[in-house]
Amino acid sequence: MPKVYGVAIRKGGQGKSTTVSTLARLCALYGARTLVVDLAQPGTTTASLRDIWPESTHGELSSALLTLHEFPAGATPDDEIANAMLEQSALPVHLLSQPSWSGGELWVLPWDDLLGEAAAFLQSERVLAGLIHALAPAVDIALIDFPSEGGALMTTALAATDRVIMPMAPEAPALEGAAATLRLLARVRESGRQIELGGLLITRVEPRSKRLVEVVQAIKQAGEVEGESLERKLLPFAIRSHEYFEQAFRYGVPVWERTDNMRDWAGYVLMAEWLLRDAGLESLATSRRGPALLTPETRIIDTSAVLLNDTEVMLRDFERAHPAG
């Protein structure tokens, strides 16, 4: 069964869809068979992958969900039924492979406008989990772009997720969104579902911004929140803020096709390697190639050194301070 990661925070504008689509491309580049489930309106993640979208037609995820709406609460469709429903909708969409992916693949269960309504008709919150489980023989890792709003679609996403990656910009409203997300995870755990915060990823960072220092300080001083230690879950690398991410989304291409400066996407390379190791795919995490082939001098934003006024370090120094493991 592939490890399923939800990318979620109860606050818009935190780089959630950027994180999903960039990590998906990088995981495929490293050789992982990667599934993306786009549940976030208006389907930005789906649109951001259009440079490798095939010309073949496909059905809608909402239709596949609705076909299984009579499964009773708590029941999971078995693989045979789930696969039949996916095949009927010509899902998931198999994106065009790149030669540099070296065996990696990218599959997508795309967003459609009726997903929210379809989820509301489901009796079982385990339907999406069943669809993902049915794809296990062809998938190494799954990424779910969570809806921003609550409701049935959020419940369905939570029931399919093992660990949550929470992207947040260095701003006070993001801390409130993070707290709301942690409260939600705590309620899910109280219901008996094993789900946890996998990592806290700081995004949209201006390296010399005082807000970065303030937010990192607040995280380190927060202690345990809803059963999670934010300081322990804070990832040591961060994502640089840059207009190139917005441009890449607008044109439906990866960020490395809009800029040739590795520091602009280096944080996502480190995040992809962390994700692969966490998912038990350590052998793939060492296979840097193409845009992931960073130089030792590439500048990295080191969140563990922010309070020491040493925000940016070279990759070789970062890897010495944070050995993979």
pLDDT tens by residue, 261-273: 999 999 999 999 9
Number of domains in the chain: 1
| Whether the Cβ atoms of residue 139 and residue 174 lie closer than 8 Å to each other | no
Query: Is residue 13's pLDDT more than 90?
Result: no
- Residues 107 and 14: their CA atoms lie apart, in Å, by 24
Residue 252 has pLDDT above 80, yes or no: yes
Report, in angstroms and rounded to the nearest whole number, the Rg of the chain calculated over CA atoms.
19
The helix (run of H) or strand (run of E) holding residue 167 is: strand 163-168
Q: Is residue 325 very low, low, confident or very high in pLDDT (cuts 50, 70, 90)?
A: low
54, 165, 209, 278 from 323: Cα distances, Å: 39, 21, 27, 14
> CA-CA distances (angstroms) from residue 251 to 15, 37, 268, 278?
17, 20, 19, 31
Q: What is the pLDDT of residues 15-62, one digit of tens each?
A: 899 999 999 999 999 999 999 999 999 899 999 999 999 998 999 999
Look over the chain and give the mean of its residue pLDDT values, rounded to a whole number. 92
SS3 229: strand
Q: Report the pLDDT averaged over residues 88-112.
A: 94
What pLDDT is stored for residue 204 in this prediction?
92
Q: What burial class does residue 5 get, using C-beta atoms within 10 Å of its C-beta: 0-12 exposed, 13-18 middle, 19+ buried? A: buried
The two three-digit tokens of residue 126, written as one number: 């385990």
Contacts of 307 (CB under 8 A, 6+ apart): 213, 216, 217, 220
Side-by-side strand order, sheet with 196-205: 93-94, 105-109, 33-38, 141-145, 3-7, 163-168, 196-205, 234-240
One-letter amino acid at 247 equals Q
184: amino acid identity, one letter: L
Full-model pTM: 0.96
> Average of pLDDT values for 232-236?
95
Do 306 and 288 contact (CB within 8 A), yes or no? no
Helix/strand number for the chain, H first, E second = 14, 12
Distance of CA 212 to the CA centre of its chain: 22
The CATH number linked to 247 is 3.40.50.300
Range of the domain at 140: 3-321
DSSP 259-289: ---GGGTHHHHHHHHHHHHHTT-HHHHT---
Q: What angle do CA 150, 36, 142 make, to 5 degrees?
A: 90
